[in-house]
A = this chain, B = another copy of it.
Amino acid sequence: MNPFQLDAVDGAARAGRVTTAHGEFATPCFMPVGTRGTVKGMTPRQLAEDVGARVILANTYHLLLRPGPELVREFGGLHRFVGWDGPILTDSGGFQVFSLAALRTLDEDGVTFRSPIDGSRHRLTPERAVAVQETLGADIIMAFDECTPYPATRDEARDSLLLTARWAARSRAARRRDDNLLFGIVQGGMYPELRRESAERTVAIGFDGYALGGLSVGEDKETMAEMIAVSAPLLPAARPRYLMGVGRPEDLVLAVTHGIDMFDCVMPTRNARNGMYFTAAGPLVIKQARYRDDHRPIDAECDCYACRHFSRAYLRHLYTSSEILAAVLGTLHNLCFYQRLMARMREHIIAGTLVDFRKHFFSGYGMADRFGSAG
């Protein structure tokens, strides 16, 4: 059975469902990031019941260093270890390793790096990245890729996509379990023709789903939009499409319009801890003095636990007092905002009215609809 069911399309946008060994989730969807086996500040129960998250992401790199995949396996896998019984996606670890710069060395076979925690030496190859993810027991695992640096020359970007393609084939061959889905990753830097080449090479290998990597790495919005626009149509319609590490609410609206199904990003959780809350009228920085005696909830359109019970003034008090509850309530709210955004887009795709939603979203959010032509 195809693990991806397409329920509706609206232009290039899609509403679907992904089936995994730990249940199904609807798309378009946003995956809260549980870097070290916890979505910062949330209990699994809050994630499931208050946020309504159905699938979360965990980072192989962080879990590899601490507590280590063997320990996690000994506890029955990541789901049991972290107390989350829904679907989990793990990345391959590559993205974080490449960010280590001076601490890592790359060769054709893989990457060697030192742990920033204790200096211990580690190695990731396509085979090892798949093995670690299978040891962790994630439902969706990612091929090991090189996240093309930005900026990169055309030659650098092509060399990088070719390495990623060779690693993709090795990742696919390294698979040992049949209860997970393996996604390939499209690279190609900011060169449309390289994005096309990477998409074609990745599709030729054949995966359960396809991701776009190497975006939201410093390029401007128009470039990101173009890379998504050229890549997405080359991916098989019958497979889920995942835009890695993106992004802002407006990015999600853009990408869904172009046919992307899945997203992850630390923005809602990290920004919450920094006192930046998302609202239908745009982001709000809670420490500002104007919220000192503001009786309103963060977002009048939101029915989350934080917005039902607490004023901006109280949240500002918590934030300026460095209270944990500021991070907890802000995270809960921001994740609810993202969940609701995805749920509304899904409803509108099914109704065939995504263009109306997009207009409504951008006018409320105080932005021009940059993507008017794509829908």
Contacts and interface: CB of A to CB of B under 8 A. Distances in A.
A264 B342 CA distance: 44
A366 B202 CA distance: 62
B66 A329 contact: no
Given A74-B293, A75-B295, A324 B328 contact: yes
Contact of A327 (B42, B295, B324): B324
A364 B151 CA distance: 63
Contacts of A309: 44, 83
Contact of A320 (B66, B71, B324): B66
Contacts of A45: 305
Interface in A303-317: 305, 309-311, 313-314, 317
A40 interface: yes
A179 interface: no
A353 interface: no
A327 B43 CA distance: 11
A83 B314 contact: yes
Interface residues of A, number: 36
Number of copies: 2
Contacts of A66: 317, 320-321
A28 interface: no
Interface in A70-116: 71, 74-75, 81-83
Contact of A40 (B42, B305, B324): B324
A67 interface: yes
A36 interface: yes
A337 B309 CA distance: 27
A31 to B, nearest CB: 18
A156 interface: no
The 8 closest A-B pairs by CB, nearest first: A83-B309, A41-B324, A38-B325, A67-B317, A36-B321, A38-B323, A40-B324, A81-B314
Given A38-B324, A45-B305, 7 more contacts: A36-B318, A41-B324, A43-B305, A66-B320, A75-B295, A75-B313, A324-B328
